[in-house]
Structure 1
Amino acid sequence: MPLPDCAIPTPALPLCSPTDAMQRVLRQLCEALLSEGCAQGVTTQDGRLCWHLGPTMFRAQGRCGAFSRYRLTQDSIEIARDHGWQPADLEDVLSSIDAPEAALAALRTDLTRTAELDDLNHQQIPRPPRRHQLGVAQMERALHEGHPYHPCYKARSGFSDTDHLRFGPEAGQRFRLIGLLFHHDLIQQNLPDDDFWSRELGQQEWNRIQGIAADQSIDLGTGGFALLPIHPWQWDQLAQDPLIPAWQSGGQLVMIGEIGDHYSATQSVRTLMNADQPQRAHVKTAMTMRNTSSLRTLIPETVAVAPVISDWLVKVIAADPLLQHDYPLTLLPEYAGIIAGRGTALEGHLAAIWRQSPASLGLADNQMMPFNALSLTEGDGQPLIAPWIATHGRDRWLAQLIETAVLPVWHLMVAHGIGLEAHGQNLILQHDNGWPTGIIARDFHDGVEYVAPLLSRPELCPDLAAIDPVFATAPLDRFHALACGDGLRELVMDTLFVFNLADLSDLMQRQFDLPESRFWQRLRARLDRYAADHGQAQRMAALAPFAPQIHAESLITRKIDPDRTGAYRHLIDNPLATAKDS
């Protein structure tokens, strides 16, 4: 049976105005609670969705879309009160959730702060009226919307208003990193060669830093001290941590002030792009800031192995003609990682990873678009991709998008047993005036997983334990190695479909007269043809991507039940299961 094409249509989501940021937070909170099965007694009455949170009843205009993603109409959420219906507010919903008070208090803070920072953007930061012609660097700043599913899409816990305007991507401010010199006993690093710093910083700046070190009788060579640049906000947060002055007084840490080029934040906030020389690396920094559901520090075990993971992917792609020609997959490899304080209370809080920048690929900036921009709507209510659809045609454009964006990631999973965390922020669409021509992937150190028995070239798989002994005894499913194909499928389908292309399929139903059922029917047909063309039917079936129900990550449940043991996941209906016969 196909997906229901529509109940009550939900309008496009324009950029929020200062008056409706809290309404967006409320809408996305209710959508997430419904999608993750946190509500009870979900029914349709009088053309509206109705549900209970505990004894309290709510209703709203909306529908249940692909992958059990609920889509509610903003400003339509009501609560049953005093024998009638009244507009609901955030506190009405929060007070009805059965969760520990501490978790609710933290959630309340993050939701409120999200609305405040969204409002602050509207008050302080002008935005372009149309964004489809912007380059990828400009788009990193112009994507004001944040996460389309998570209600804490701009929480940035720990940021003051000043911090937000200085270090958030939207304002596009430039700043320099803070240089820390750590004794080698506190450092774990993986650098490509001895010329790393002179190449990254420029010889003149590297000479200056070496001079500062020499003036303090510090050896920056092998066996002495090592340089770690960190985010200036992070230094402000950690400078008074007891470990920092202890290391300083013990002669194990020296802060040398601002170093290197100026940077500005990308949409992830913690990953920084070089504002002076864009072709130089993006630097992913550790930040003790919570956004959506995660603290934005770096997983300690993944920092030093980052270059090895990227090298592995490069080799796998180079050895596969299909990934070279038929389904080309371009990578932005991570090639250096440094972390300080392993095994201490600040583990993961002092780290950086260097990644090739989009500008280094030699493509025009306006031929690259962050993938999560495709489902957005402009302030005038028009989809960002509307000019592209008008130029190329809806059906041709969608078919080409599936060909260039889905099949490379899908082939890597099915044929090679390797999964990418392919959410919209990690993918960049290469295009020619909106016509999809390729896909660029990034962020691999903690976003690549594999199943050893499914690897097509097991001899290429790196021995991570040679870099960090923790990998020798780590159980499956803790880091990159998974126990079975279910986890691999869940990673790829969660990030590429459930919380990514499902937003595009919703947009195309609302704005381009393409029912979601037809969207997923077309994608399913192309995946079936891929398997038949390349003899991959058996391997694809083993991953069970077309099961009637699959698991998805429970993002809001992680916030309201933070002490749960086990995985945060819930069952959802899979539109690909029925798409073949629809």
Structure 2
Amino acid sequence: MLVPEPGGDLPGRWRIRLPGEVEYIFHARRGGFGAWRVDPASIRRRADGRTVPATDPTRLVLDARETLGLSAPALAELVRDLIATQVADARLRATALPAAALADLGHEELEAHQTGHPCLLLNKGRLGFSASDADRYTPEAAGDVRPVWIAVAAHAARFTAVPGLDTTTLLDTELDADTRAGFAARITARGGDPDGYVWLPVHPFQFDEVVRPLYAGPLADGTMVVLGDSPDRYRPMQSIRTLTNVDRPDRHNVKLPLMIRNTLVWRGLSAAQTGCAPVLTTWLGGLRDTDPFLRDECRVVLLGEVASVTVPHPVYAELPDAPYRWHELLGAIWREPVHRHLDPGERARTMATLLLEGADGRAVIAELVARSGLTARDWLRAYLRALLPPLLHLLYRYGASFTPHGENVVLISDAAEVPTRIAVKDFGADVELLPFDLPEYADLPADTRARLHRWPARDLAHSILSAICAGHFRFLTDIVERHLGVPEADFWRLVREPIDAYHRRFPELAERFGWFDLLAPEFGRVALNREQLFGFGFHDRADRDAEFDVMHGTVANPLHTAAPTGTVPPRPVADGPVPPRPVADGPVPPRPASGDAGRGR
């Protein structure tokens, strides 16, 4: 791997030596989790007796090929993904706004300015999109998308929904009466009964790339009927395949499969993913509604994935060992929009917004703190009190883990821009449980439990340690230090406050605190870039996620030493491993070829 070494007598100067007597020289300071805070303007490439500014990351990849041990196919894919990411970054720079203007934008409008997964170097490749596709379908393009509605004969599709929601009720909320009547007439014209079909939207890219060529048979024999374009305009969110309604924001977000590869995986929707979503929404919503801490104190919002449709391909369904993308071609998930849950005066932004810096060099978080009238530390305390307690409670009390990274957590602030609570989204595909059944799992149907990922407690702890601490706070600490004047060590002490307060509040869960061990001295490093760079062939597996996230070494846990008193408190009870207990419904199931669990960590 590329290991920097001190680059001279000047403090903070580093260099990387590569084959062919090539060196890269730069200035950087170190941060938590081994982070490098590199000054981009300082990077120089030295080769053939010349030292020039290093402005081309593809040149670095070529220089480092031997050191990284990249095969020719892997290198070619890396360069392809890197250049596509650069093009997306160039568009973001061209439309950049000052921090104050970003802070004024609504939840959906902000999606056009997010910079992508902070942990991944190749985070906006969207491989499979043409240039014109990128102009239409990426969030930074902020273009209008009109899904194509189709109808699939009931025997060829599966509809699942939360209790009390059927297809008629769903369609009544998503399409006006005239549109429904027009669509029904098209089915009748093909000789079909509108009530004998399942209706769903399809992303226009997927309709052209997948439905028309690969479902030609069902289209020809009437098993599938094209109904027409959506009358409403939608915009893509950061996950690309999730669309939000521009004309009717009160209508559901729709999550639709795309035959593109982005940040490690193909972005389809599997049967397991779509089928489990409404069931998990019902279970988690029931936990929230019957738990006074979650419901009344945290007031956490779980943006329910209330309905889904799965449409297997008639041929690929008989090829279970085909690469997973061929089993994730067609389906839909309907998710509640955050607007339905906001009180008057409240504002919603994804947590990733806190990592944005405006075109004027000012951080959005600095703008929000200034508007609130609070000190930086008090604003951060409010933010951390809103964020951590509900996630800790779901993990400790209910043994439920998912991936609450910056795009999956929506920060809700009051009219004064003080954070008060959070909404969590996109959890249906990522819920993971302990390898033994807790009493709290009793209301989760056994067939759903059998399809979910089951991991030891200290793996589930990565929902906090990796998705939030290493995956979000690692980058936020740099911004907080530079723009708010709060040193990184002080920030971690602020993070410890709500964790310690939770441990004091619920002493009856002390044994479980030990299971997950969030305050351990170190934890495994989730190596997403390593998986992406060296996982050539990974994309063609039949099983998308055969194992837990790729780990490489360990990192020091800043929560361990961040006690407000400056002393290390005793770790929770039950410091040893979780005692082995049987799984109630049989052996621990392998991960199904579905979901993106861990991809956001």
Contact 1:61 1:76 in 2 (8 A): yes
Decide which of 425, 433, 448 is 1:450's aligned counterpart: 433
**Which region of structure 1 is more displaced relative to structure 2, 379-388 or 356-365?**
356-365
Q: Deviation string for 1:274-305 (max 9, x for gaps)?
A: 11111110001111122232322123311012
* Correspondence for 2:228: 257
CA distance in 2, matches of 1:51, 1:546: 34
> 2:53 is matched with which residue: 63, 77, 87?
87
Matches of 2:519 and 2:46, distance apart in 1? 39
- 1:114/1:156 Cα in 2 relative to 1: closer, same or farther (>3 Å)? same
Answering whether residue 339 of structure 2 is matched by residue 373 of structure 1, we say no
Structure 1 residue runs of 5 or longer lacking an equivalent are: 1-37, 466-470, 473-478
Kindly indicate whether residue 131 of structure 2 is the aligned counterpart of residue 161 of structure 1: yes
Q: Which runs of 5+ in 2 are unaligned?
A: 539-545, 568-601
Tell me, yes or no, if the aligned pair for 1:154 and 1:292 is still in contact at 8 Å. yes
In 1, Cα distance between equivalents of 2:46 and 2:437: 52
Contact 1:367 1:431 in 2 (8 A): yes
- Residues 261 and 50 (structure 1 numbering): CA distance in 2 closer, same or farther, change over 3 Å? same
Aligned residue type for 1:140: E
Kept after mapping to 1: 8 A contact 2:97/2:358: no
In the alignment, the residues of structure 1 paired with residue 5 and residue 396 of structure 2 have an alpha-carbon distance, to the nearest angstrom, of 36
Measured after TM superposition, the shift of residue 239 of structure 1 is 4.4
Please identify, of 329-338 and 493-502, the stretch whose mean Cα deviation from structure 2 is larger.
493-502
3-state secondary structure, aligned to 1:443: coil
Matches within 5 A, 1:68-467: 68-82=34-48, 85-88=51-54, 89-95=56-62, 96=64, 97-123=68-94, 125=95, 127=97, 130-141=101-112, 143-191=113-161, 192-193=165-166, 194-221=168-195, 224-239=196-211, 241=213, 243-341=214-312, 343-344=316-317, 346-363=326-343, 367-390=347-370, 391-432=373-414, 433-451=416-434, 453=436, 455=438, 457-465=440-448
* 1:482 has 2:462 as partner: no
Q: Secondary structure at the match of 2:110?
A: helix
- 8 Å CA contact retained: 1:212, 1:256: yes
AA paired with 1:496?
I
Q: Which runs of 4+ in 1 moved over 6 A?
A: none
CA contact (8 A) 2:312 2:327 kept: yes
Alignment partner of 1:58 is 2:24: yes
Read off the aligned partner of 1:182 and give its amino acid letter. Answer: V
Seen in structure 2, the aligned counterparts of structure 1 residues 122 and 543 have a Cα distance that, compared at 3 Å, is closer
The residue type equivalent to 2:306 in the other structure is: Y
Q: Which moved more, 1:433-442 or 1:94-103?
A: 94-103
Deviation of 1:53 after TM superposition, in Å, equals 5.5
Q: Shift of the alpha carbon at 1:45?
A: 4.5
Aligned to 2:510: 537
Deviates more, 1:159-168 or 1:399-408: 159-168
Question: CA-to-partner distance for each residue in 1:247-289, whole Å, 9 max, x for gaps?
Answer: 3234432223313422121222211111111111000111112
Q: Distance in 2 between matches of 1:365 and 1:178?
A: 35
Read off the aligned partner of 2:58 and give its amino acid letter. E
Is 1:151–1:292's contact at 8 Å kept on the other side of the alignment? no
Residues in 1 aligned to 2:530 and 2:333: alpha-carbon distance in whole angstroms? 30
CA displacement 1:461-511 (0-9 Å, x = unmatched): 23335xxxxx74xxxxxx633231022101332212211122211211122
- Alpha carbons of 1:111 and 1:364: their partners in 2 closer, same or farther (altered >3 Å)? farther
Alignment of 1:2-21 (within 5 A): none
Shift in Å, 1:561? 1.2
Could you give the per-residue CA deviations for residues 121-148 of structure 1, whole angstroms, max 9, x where no partner exists? 444x47466211222122223x242233
Which residue, out of 24, 36, 39, partners 2:2?
A: 39
Number of aligned pairs?
Answer: 529
| Equivalent in 23, 34, 49 of residue 14 of structure 2 | 49
**Distance change >3 Å, CA 440–CA 300, structure 1 → 2:** same
Task: Using the TM superposition, give the Cα deviation of residue 403 of structure 1 relative to its aligned residue in structure 2, in angstroms.
Answer: 0.6
Secondary structure of the corresponding residue to residue 255 of structure 2 = strand
* CA distance in 1: counterparts of 2:468 and 2:387, whole angstroms: 9
CA drift at 1:436: 0.7
State the SS of the aligned residue for 1:248: helix
Residue among 497, 501, 523 paired with 2:469: 497
1:305–1:464 Cα contact (<8 Å) kept: no
Counterparts of 2:144 and 2:346, CA distance in 1? 21
State the secondary structure of the residue aligned to 2:394. helix
The 3 A distance-change label for structure 1 pair 362 and 173 is same
502-511 or 68-77, which moves further after superposition?
Answer: 68-77
CA contact (8 A) 1:155 1:291 kept: yes
Give the deviation of 1:541 after TM superposition: 2.1
- Counterpart contact for 1:179–1:257, Cα < 8 Å: yes
Q: What TM-score does the superposition give when structure 1 sets the normalisation length?
A: 0.85
User: What SS does the aligned partner of 1:409 have?
Assistant: helix
SS at match of 2:206: helix
Identity %: 26
Q: Please tell me the residue identity of whatever aligns with 1:218.
A: G
Deviates further, 454-463 or 570-579: 454-463
Task: String of CA shifts for 1:216-254, please: whole Å, max 9, x gaps.
Answer: 111232xx432221001111212453x322332344322
Distance 1:323 1:128, change over 3 A: same
Q: CA deviation at 1:412?
A: 1.2
What amino acid maps onto 1:494 in structure 2? Answer: S
Whichever residue aligns with residue 511 of structure 1, its letter is H
8 A Cα contact 2:377 2:486, kept in partner: no
CA distance in 2, matches of 1:568, 1:107: 18
CA contact under 8 A between 2:97 and 2:359: conserved in structure 1? Answer: no
Name the CA distance, whole Å, in 2 between partners of 1:208 and 1:136: 33
Specify the SS of the correspondent of 1:374: helix
Alpha-carbon distance between aligned partners in 2 of 1:379 and 1:247, rounded to the nearest angstrom: 50
- Distance across 1 between alignment mates of 2:46 and 2:532: 25
Q: Give the Cα separation in 2 of the matches to 1:455 and 1:230.
A: 38
1:546 aligned counterpart, secondary structure: coil
Q: Is this contact kept in 2: 1:133–1:366, CA < 8 A?
A: no
Residue 405 of structure 1 and its aligned partner are, at CA, apart by: 1.0
Measured against aligned partners, the alpha-carbon deviations of 1:413-444 in whole angstroms (never above 9, x if no partner) come to: 12221113101111111112320111111112
How far off is 1:207 after superposition? 2.0
Give 2:560's aligned residue. 577
Aligned-pair CA distance for 1:520: 0.9
User: Any conservation in 1 of the 2:4–2:14 contact (CA below 8 Å)?
Assistant: no
Task: Read off the aligned partner of 1:68 and give its amino acid letter.
Answer: G
Instruction: Say which structure, 1 or 2, has more relative contact order (CA 8 Å, 6+ apart).
Output: 1
Post-superposition shift, 1:330? 1.0
Structure 1 residue 347: deviation in Å? 1.9
